[in-house]
Chains A and B, each alone.
Chain A
């Protein structure tokens, strides 16, 4: 059965529909790529799953429970972690404290000392161990992006929502990031991975969903999806959406 199931998720801002009846299902331990042109509603969908945007209609179920009306912190505690497209580290905390906050308040609510130990482990994993005591202002873009991932891991989630977490990085950093994301799957976490760069996603995704103008356009294995004429059209801009 699915770990995450979104059915008919709709989100309107004023009268404008950003999402119209979108469906999405994620099973345990799979990487699902979520792609689509700019403004297709990817980040909005992610925010409705994380709970920071209330839906206008539809349901969000996670691990068999209806979380449609649950506030974001309870979803985090239930096992849904997210990253932000533009990294948003807590500015008055050190790198390790940023990560420790997640494990203090996350799924297993650890004590402070334990949380700091756990933070160091996670930072080791993502390759930021050397910066553990640094202030976040001293980090480069790629370090900030990886700090976002580290915080998400520290929540010890069953599902991680990654929002363009490799955008703006150079090829070797992207390769490191893709390895890191694959390793999340290897230890049983499911991943929903938004990326503008379709090639990067399709290289590691088990399945892919394509959104266009707030609607489901296609889903399936990466090869099927990339061969789909509608997808090509949506990306290259054909007569349909002109």
Chain B
């Protein structure tokens, strides 16, 4: 079966833009996993809740989707702080932290299904044309089409991931977060106030879920089980990108979704999610090789 180069380009572009959305979801997970040591399933649930809240505000209160962020972002910040506070109060070890986030993951699924029904909810028909009319690339370029929603996903991803990556590397607070991950005790003696920073990072991660949720509600029909479908791609992107490196996760998500979409051109699309796991297993198998290569290059650099 032959595929025209235009169709291939369009498919890859769609994949890349959808990857941006998953990159925005992976952002919070990567930062919390990498820097707070919490592998937080609940982050995916928060993203779903963000999407449903946007849906309700747009359909019932007739708000503009972007305006909903004024409500969801601060509310989610508080939720993120509260959850992390719970972990701190319980002095939860990783085992119990995982169990708690899993319990919250399940609770959210049921809450979504109770409040918003288990059926698919689609916001698209309610949106103004500005959100749904696809845009074409200008003339000299190949005739590719882009959905405005996908552009929004791209902008949100680049903004959020860019700011996080910059903040982690360049700001005082960001370096404190990194130091904390290496060794909380040493960070404390250096004057890093671990508790407030931990709470703030968790709150910001949750806020990013509100933004990603807004994009999700515009981009795809909502159902309570969506987080389960995301978890594969988001976790794999987080790991491939390197824990705690939002930029890496974004790039990995974009590449993964391009591969998945390209796969669907030639092979049965229902197997596309398996591609992600194929990549993960290759990645894990490659760990020893990776270590060897990185040490070999390091020695060349030193020599």
Contacts and interface: CB of A to CB of B under 8 A. Distances in A.
Whether chain A touches chain B in the assembled complex (some CB pair under 8 Å) = yes
Interface of A: 10, 12, 14-15, 17, 54, 56-57
Interface in B286-303: 291, 295, 298-299, 301-302
B302 A17 contact: yes
Contacts of A17: 302
Contacts of A12: 295, 298-299, 302
Contacts of A14: 298
B194 to A, nearest CB: 20
A14 B302 CA distance: 11
Nearest to B288: A54
B298 A15 contact: yes
A15 B302 contact: yes
Interface in B261-303: 291, 295, 298-299, 301-302
Contact of B291 (A10, A54, A57): A54
Contacts of B301: 15
Nearest to A13: B298
Contacts of A54: 291
Contacts of A57: 299
A54 B291 CA distance: 10
A182 to B, nearest CB: 35
Nearest to B296: A56
B73 to A, nearest CB: 36
15 contacts: A10-B299, A12-B295, A12-B298, A12-B299, A12-B302, A14-B298, A15-B298, A15-B301, A15-B302, A17-B302, A54-B291, A56-B295, A56-B298, A56-B299, A57-B299
Contacts of A10: 299
A222 to B, nearest CB: 33
Interface string B123-139: 00000000000000000
A198 to B, nearest CB: 26
A76 to B, nearest CB: 21
A66 B299 CA distance: 23
A57 B295 CA distance: 9
A234 B60 CA distance: 74
Contacts of A15: 298, 301-302
B202 to A, nearest CB: 27
B290 to A, nearest CB: 13
A20 to B, nearest CB: 9
B71 to A, nearest CB: 43
A56 B301 CA distance: 14
Contacts of B302: 12, 15, 17
Nearest to A17: B302
A17 B295 CA distance: 10
Interface string B156-181: 00000000000000000000000000
Given A12-B295, A12-B298, 13 more contacts: A10-B299, A12-B299, A12-B302, A14-B298, A15-B298, A15-B301, A15-B302, A17-B302, A54-B291, A56-B295, A56-B298, A56-B299, A57-B299
Contacts of B291: 54
A10 B302 CA distance: 12
Closest 7 pairs between A and B when the two form their complex, measured CB to CB: A56-B295, A15-B298, A12-B298, A12-B295, A15-B301, A17-B302, A15-B302
A112 B191 CA distance: 49
Nearest to A56: B295
A15 B301 CA distance: 8
